[in-house]
Amino acid sequence: MLLGFLVGIVASSLSELSVAAATGVAFVRGSPGRTTPSMVLVGLLTLWVGLGGVPLLVARRKGNGPVRDFGLTLRPWPDLPLGVLVGLGSQYLLIPLLYLPLQPLIPNLANRLSHPAQSFTGGAHGAMYILLGVLAAAGAPVVEELFFRGLLLRSLLKRLGPIGPRLAPIISILVAAVAFGLAHQEGLQLLGLTAFGVVLGILAHRFGRLGPGMVAHTAFNTAAILTLAFGH
């Protein structure tokens, strides 16, 4: 599990650096203008090899499949409306409230927080922008929920079970959320990503499946992409 996490992170970074070297771009992660669509696309796909591949291999090894082992199930009700509500609420209420106390301390905080989203598009336009948007809105929620709230969270809950039915979920959700935040390799955004990871962990633990979290993750990412696209 840890190997898959590290392989995904390292492979993603190396692939981005390789594309940067081949194209002559001075790559700086999270900085608009220092990434290209090809770098973003290659980095994203290689990251998913580690994060998505390990849970599938574990499920195949156990023989039960990702549905039974990790709760990879989506139900129209209540997953869809609940997920949309939670995702949009996290994007437009939770995150702004978390960073509100930091505004007087960090100049241009709003612009700096939006840099990763701007960097993600890599200056893409037209079909490439749509492709990256679809991957962020549809691909990332499935792969990341499968790894962080499927494999990682359930493994932690199983291992920490002896410490108690209340404490084990709290610690497991927090650890999975921090790992989720660190995987994005964004320092300033770590607080918001970890908080959103906690929300997603609560959904996964409460409902015993990944459906609500995947929808919330999709709504969260879609809101960010659309906000960037329309310049608000």
Question: Each residue's pLDDT tens digit in the chain (232 positions)?
Answer: 555 555 555 555 544 444 444 444 444 444 444 466 777 777 777 877 778 888 888 888 877 888 999 999 999 999 999 999 999 999 999 999 999 999 999 998 888 887 777 666 656 677 888 888 888 899 999 999 999 999 999 999 999 999 999 999 999 999 999 999 998 888 899 999 999 999 999 999 999 999 999 999 999 999 988 887 776 4
Q: H or E stretch including 178? A: helix 167-183
Rounded Cα distance between 139 and 136, Å, is 6
Determine the pLDDT at residue 114. 79
Determine the pLDDT at residue 225. 87
Token pair listed for 126: 């037209």
Determine the pLDDT at residue 227. 83
Determine the pLDDT at residue 22. 46
Sign of the Cα torsion 219, 224, 230, 232 reads positive
Q: Encode 29-54: b = buried (16+ Cβ within 10 Å), e = exposed.
A: bbebebbbbbbbbbbbebbbbbbbeb
Domain spans in the chain, listed from the N-terminal domain onward: 68-229
Report the candidate in 26, 46, 45, 49 with the shortest Cα–Cα distance to residue 36: 26
Q: What is the pTM of this model?
A: 0.85
Q: Which residues contact 71 (CB under 8 A, 6 or more apart)?
A: 150, 154, 204, 208, 209, 210, 211
What is the biggest distance separating any 2 CA atoms in the chain, rounded to whole angstroms? 54
Rounded Cα distance between 230 and 232, Å, is 6
Determine the pLDDT at residue 41. 75
Determine the pLDDT at residue 212. 98
Determine the pLDDT at residue 65. 87
Determine the pLDDT at residue 95. 96
Determine the pLDDT at residue 101. 95
